Amino acid sequence: MRVKTRLPEFLFPVETDSWLTVLRLGLGLQVTLYALSLRTDWTYLFSGTARKVAEALLSLQGHFIPSLGWFVALAARLGVPEETVLLLAWLGLFVSGCALLIGVGCRFSAIAAWFLHLCAAKSGGFLSYGMDNFMTIGLFYLMLSPLPDRASLDWRLRDLRPKNPELLGFWHRVLQLHLCIIYFFSGLTKCLGSGWWDGSNVWRALIRPPFNVIDPEALVRWKDFLPLAGILVCLLESGYPFFIWSSRTRKIWLFGICAMHLLIGVAMGMYLFSLVMIVLNVAAFGPGLIRPEHARISMQPQGAVS
Amino acid sequence: MLRVVAEGPTILPLSFKNFSRKAQELISIAPAEQLSPSNPLRESMNTYAQLAGIESGYGYFAPNVPSGYTLVFELHYRDGRVEYEVPSVRSAAAELRMAGLLDNIGRTPYDELREILLKTLVQSIWRKHPELQSVRAILGSLILPSVREFEQGKRESYEFLYAYDFSLQDPPPKTNPH
């Protein structure tokens, strides 16, 4: 009986939309920077045989997984060349990122950003890495969450309100639980490798091209700290689901995880990977940490949303 | 988790490795895994996982940091000259992706797939140098020194893995001068 009442309370808590604001702003910035970072290589990476091979393999997984090939095939019938389609896809991604950042057409922008990024990630299957997965995860939750949030221009200027504000807490909880699963398994599998305990994996990660931002000559002077860094990574990740929920340890753990990602970004040149991880973490567990939240959303669902 | 332990090496005793292999085999005969790829239920589950970004595990750099791969093109010109070039992209963000592509090329157990992927990279080299006669793509595995080895003067080295020869009889048009 207790579980029956406590589970819905846990899964559907009353929440403000602060976390959604963080997620929208963060992912808006992420999508914009993602598009800008690949601006010069976009056509090269996503055109030609490599894309076709990735899409052919993808079709074995399912026929309804979006890819850039859908647009290319459709445009070919209209006589539009592949390069133009790819350019339009890039532009769409960039504009949707900017729109998310300022909060205009939030719902549509979130769906467009998720869809276009997913198309690029799946078409460039052999070129994708962890960052793409986390962007897909974040954008997936963003587009399903009750948008717009109070900080968006949709709310302030267009007076739009979310249809199902009662789902704010649910999607926030899903994001929190998902992060716990991610870190727990990531940490646990690292703990199984001997290289994380003696620091050799930290060394290898930092000197392996193209992550070798720091000169190994400088790094070797800090060799005594490498085992400590390795153990800290294991501890932070595998301990995440146990220490992030308690108000006493949440601040330490969130700060530790964000610092870890910041260091990964700086020391390995994985800026976008770090950004998306920090955004997801701060959105999931950041709001209310420094300043307790009082204002709860209490409004009636409205028909008009973006 | 089971894959990580089964493929190892990990700090767990060998018996765990054997257990994980057996457990993996057991899971592979589970009803859902036995469904054909075109089965609507399996396809729906696969599609949902891809749309939500949950199709892969979360063991990044786990249990250990793998070695990378490197690719060198040996360019053979019609006049007999031989030059060497490595795959290049313009941005740092694309460089990370290129490293991922080389990892995929190096790790795939399928020769045909490896050859197709190398061919796509050769095509871009070809567009850049239309006067080429043939290209040899040489794939090597990167060997990283340990801290102690580095202190003793050892630096990263490469171990030869594969070489593929592509003769260029039908040059593609010079449309994408990347």
**How do residues A25-45 score in pLDDT, each as one tens digit?**
999 999 999 999 999 999 988
Q: What share of chain A has pLDDT > 70, as a percent?
A: 94
Task: From residue A208, give the alpha-carbon distance in Å to each of A269, B66, B102.
Answer: 12, 9, 13
Bond into A301 cis (ω within 30): no
Could you report the per-residue pLDDT of A192-208, keeping only the tens digit for each?
A: 998 999 999 999 999 99
Contact B91 A135 (CB under 8 A): no
Annotated domain spans of chain B? 2-52, 69-167
Nearest by CB: A140 against B51, B56, B101: B51
Contact B52 A186 (CB under 8 A): no
pLDDT of residue B171: 52
Ordered alpha helix ranges (H), chain B? 2-7, 14-28, 31-34, 40-52, 92-107, 111-128, 147-151
Nearest to B4 by CA among B22, B20, B23: B20
Task: From residue A157, give the alpha-carbon distance in Å to each of A79, A154, A304.
Answer: 41, 6, 14
Ordered alpha helix ranges (H), A62-199? 68-77, 82-102, 106-123, 130-144, 153-156, 168-191, 194-197
Contact B58 A185 (CB under 8 A): yes
What share of residues in chain B are helix, strand, coil (percent, to 5)? 45, 20, 35
Interface with chain B: mutation pick from A116, A204, A231, A237, highest number of B CBs within 10 Å: A204
pLDDT of residue B62: 82
Would an 8 Å CB–CB cutoff place B98 in contact with chain A? Answer: yes
Provide the CB-side half-sphere exposure for A115 (13 A, CA): 13
Say which residue the tokens 């701060």 belong to.
A282
pLDDT of residue A253: 97
Contacts of A53 (CB under 8 A, 6+ apart): A126, B113, B116, B117, B120
Nearest CA in chain A to B5: A192
pLDDT of residue B9: 75
Average pLDDT over residues B54-63: 83
The number of residues making up chain B comes to 178
Sign of CA dihedral A244, A248, A251, A257: negative
ipTM over 0.90: no
Q: Is the pLDDT of residue A105 over 90?
A: yes
Could you report the per-residue pLDDT of B9-57, keeping only the tens digit for each?
A: 777 777 777 777 777 777 766 666 677 778 888 889 989 999 999 988 8
Q: How many CB pairs under 8 A join A and B?
A: 190
Q: Is the pLDDT of residue A1 over 70?
A: no
Give the sheet arrangement for strand B69-77, strand by strand: B82-85, B69-77, B132-143, B157-167
Q: What share of chain B has pLDDT > 90, as a percent?
A: 43
Average pLDDT over residues A154-169: 93
Contact B146 A65 (CB under 8 A): no
Q: Is the pLDDT of residue A62 over 80?
A: yes
What is the value of pTM for the model shown?
0.90
Interface with chain B: mutation pick from A39, A55, A61, highest number of B CBs within 10 Å: A61
Residues of A in contact with B55 (CB under 8 A): 61, 133
pLDDT of residue B60: 80
